[in-house]
Amino acid sequence: MKNVLRRVIELLNLLSENNNLSTENIKDSISDYRDLNQQAFRRSFERDKNLLRSFGYLIEYENDKWSYDKGYSLSGYSIYNSIIKSEKISSDKLVNTYLYLKKYLSKSNYDNDKREIISKILQSINEKRRVGFDYLDKYRKVKPQGLKYFDNKWYLAGEESGLLKTFNLEQINNLKIGNKTDLFQIENKNFPFSWDKEKYSTEVTIKLKKNLYDVNKNIFAHNKVDIEINDKFLQCKVSTNDNYGLVKFLLLLDDEVEIIKINTSDNIRELLDVQKN
């Protein structure tokens, strides 16, 4: 473990002082890498990158088509640098808040890919870069405005084609940050999310065991409109914009939940039938 930490610190120092380093540069500059064959070096390098990622640093391969620069560079720490330079923010409070959130969020099973997406989005917000990603079988180009943690899920508010939209991070894949900085302004800091507007596209009344609802309710973001409890059963009317999460919830519980009524702009029943078949 001592060797790993030493190697990671050397890698961090090397990338902090240089941009666009090739794999050959990195291998030759760090003693623990130098005597490894290419396969062993790749394995060690990937493990070290994952360890730095868990600390909030990102090591990305950059290949700018408009220039000859390419290679590995360090990112993810620019947000902290901008914060500690601000006179309006207490660095002590920032660190205390970070430690609290780290302890709180570590209880969830959030994978490394999503942590990396959060890091990249924060960097793109800080540097006002556009992001592109796959979202529900469609490629999106978005000007990110902010992140919000709600009901055990992360959401991105972003402007797409002039409209402010909400994106569930669990459905965001292959996110890339644009090369150009300062492309837009973030004017509305209190940006609305779908649940803040209290205008929902779907209303559904369901009946199921109360303990099943309690265990699985965080699968989709929703607002409880009306609840009746008889014995161990719960009859609940909910409203939601998270139709994907609702379908996932209903499919997961399957025969354990009774759908009494659905009012929606989308045909949820038809979608459920297709998924089951």
CA separation, residue 4 to residues 1, 10, 234 (Å) = 5, 10, 52
Per the prediction, the chain carries an average pLDDT of: 77
Q: What does the pLDDT look like over 36-62, one tens digit per residue?
A: 999 999 888 888 887 887 666 777 777
The CATH T-level fold of domain 2-75 is Arc Repressor Mutant, subunit A (1.10.10)
Q: State the Cα–Cα distance between residues 67 and 65, nearest whole angstrom.
A: 6
- Choose between 212 and 3: higher pLDDT: 212
Tokens describing residue 253: 């519980």
In this prediction, residue 275 carries a pLDDT of: 47
Q: Most distant CA pair in the chain: distance in Å? A: 70
Residue 132 has pLDDT above 90, yes or no: yes
Q: How many helices (H) and strands (E) does the chain have?
A: 11, 11
CATH of domain 198-276: 3.30.70
2-75 and 198-276, same CATH topology:
no
For the chain, percent of residues with pLDDT exceeding 90:
9
In this prediction, residue 111 carries a pLDDT of: 56
Q: State the Cα–Cα distance between residues 205 and 221, nearest whole angstrom.
A: 15
Q: What does the pLDDT look like over 64-98, one tens digit per residue?
A: 554 456 788 777 655 556 666 666 666 666 666 66
In this prediction, residue 200 carries a pLDDT of: 53
β partners of residue 236 = 206, 227
Quick one: the chain helix, strand, coil %, rounded to 5? 45, 30, 25
Question: Which residues are CB-contacts of 115 (< 8 A; sequence separation ≥ 6)?
Answer: 53, 54
How many residues belong to the chain? Answer: 277
In this prediction, residue 91 carries a pLDDT of: 61
Give residue limits of the domains in the chain: 2-75, 108-194, 198-276
The span from the first CA to the last CA of the chain, in angstroms, equals 50
CA separation, residue 193 to residues 11, 145, 165, 166, 246 (Å) = 40, 11, 8, 6, 18
Name the band, by pLDDT with cuts 50, 70 and 90, for residue 128: confident
Residue 106 has pLDDT above 60, yes or no: no
Q: Angle at the Cα of 197 (from 249 to 168), degrees rounded to 5?
A: 45
β partners of residue 158 = 144, 165
Question: Which residues are CB-contacts of 72 (< 8 A; sequence separation ≥ 6)?
Answer: 15, 20, 21, 22, 23, 26, 59, 60, 61, 62
SS3 241: coil
The CATH T-level fold of domain 108-194 is SH3 type barrels. (2.30.30)
Q: What does the pLDDT look like over 218-236, one tens digit per residue?
A: 787 777 777 888 888 999 8
Q: Are 143 and 184 in contact (CB under 8 A)?
A: yes
Q: What does the pLDDT look like over 133-153, one tens digit per residue?
A: 999 889 999 999 888 776 667
Q: Are 132 and 142 in contact (CB under 8 A)?
A: yes
Q: State the Cα–Cα distance between residues 169 and 167, nearest whole angstrom.
A: 6
Q: Are 76 and 117 in contact (CB under 8 A)?
A: no
Q: State the Cα–Cα distance between residues 215 and 132, nearest whole angstrom.
A: 34
Residue 277 has pLDDT above 60, yes or no: no
